[in-house]
Structure 1
Amino acid sequence: MKINYLLIIIIMLCLNTNILVAQDTSNTVAIIEPALSTVVILEIDGMACQEGCADKIASNLNETEGVISAKVSFKDKKGVIVFHPNLVSIEDLKSKITNTKVKDYVYTINSVTIKEKN
């Protein structure tokens, strides 16, 4: 009889151990290598103000897949964009700017300067 109890306890212990080992580990943190990013400065003509034109262009850029951040200044007539070149190209960014619609304004890109690569 003692052997039966001992056998049952051993089986229960083994089952318990399997359950503990098989627990969900979805809340573990994975370390992901940062992707290479590029910073580009675009000189933009055609903006009439900060609140309408520049902010709308920045908003459109920030909604673009691959763009990490975009800041556009009416005062400086420039946009500074940090992006993943594997996901979006400079040509895509330029197109996003020139296709932005605020009233009848037409935006043009005068120069492109790649500032740095990480």
Structure 2
Amino acid sequence: MKINYLLVNIIMLCLTANILVAQGTANSTTIIEPTLSTVVTIEINGMACQEGCADKIASNLNEKKGVISTEVSFKDKKGIIVFDPNLVSIEDLKSVITSTKVKDYVYTINSVTIKEKK
């Protein structure tokens, strides 16, 4: 009988603790600071196809901290990258592109056009 009473008290204590923790979490406020992002269009030479070259370049760019989104097109021979300039530089992005390895292809940058975005 004492064991049942003790077990019920332990369960009640655990439930009470869970409720208190949940209430404390529900009342907390998370503030997300808006960051200024930059959009850059980079003309890329040396891509041979979409599935290999362009998709691999996009994948490598997306792995870079600070890159928000990437769209690389073999057809248009360019990449459009949205990134946080506080975390990654245009030089870093260019380096990712030119150091991407697919077979023996060499990727070069023709031009860079920058557009700031909110």
TM-score range, shorter chain: 0.7 to 0.9
- Is 2:30 the counterpart of 1:30? yes
Structure 2: 5+ residue stretches without partners: 1-15
- Is 2:80 the counterpart of 1:80? yes
- For the residues of structure 2 that align with 1:116 and 1:76, how far apart are their CA atoms? 22
Q: Which amino acid aligns with 1:95?
A: S
- For the residues of structure 2 that align with 1:44 and 1:81, how far apart are their CA atoms? 12
TM-score of the superposed pair, with normalisation by structure 2: 0.77
Q: How does 1:16-55 map to 2 (within 5 A)?
A: 23-24=20-21, 25-27=24-26, 28-55=28-55
Structure of greater Rg: 1
- For the residues of structure 2 that align with 1:43 and 1:93, how far apart are their CA atoms? 12
Is the partner of 1:26 in helix, strand or coil? Answer: helix
Comparing 48-57 with 23-32, which one deviates more in the overlay?
A: 23-32
TM-score of the superposed pair, with normalisation by structure 1: 0.77
Counting aligned pairs with the same residue, the percent is: 77
Q: Which amino acid aligns with 1:35?
A: T
Question: Aligned residues, how many?
Answer: 99
Q: Which position in structure 1 is the counterpart of 2:4?
A: none
Is the partner of 2:61 in helix, strand or coil? Answer: helix
RMSD: 1.9
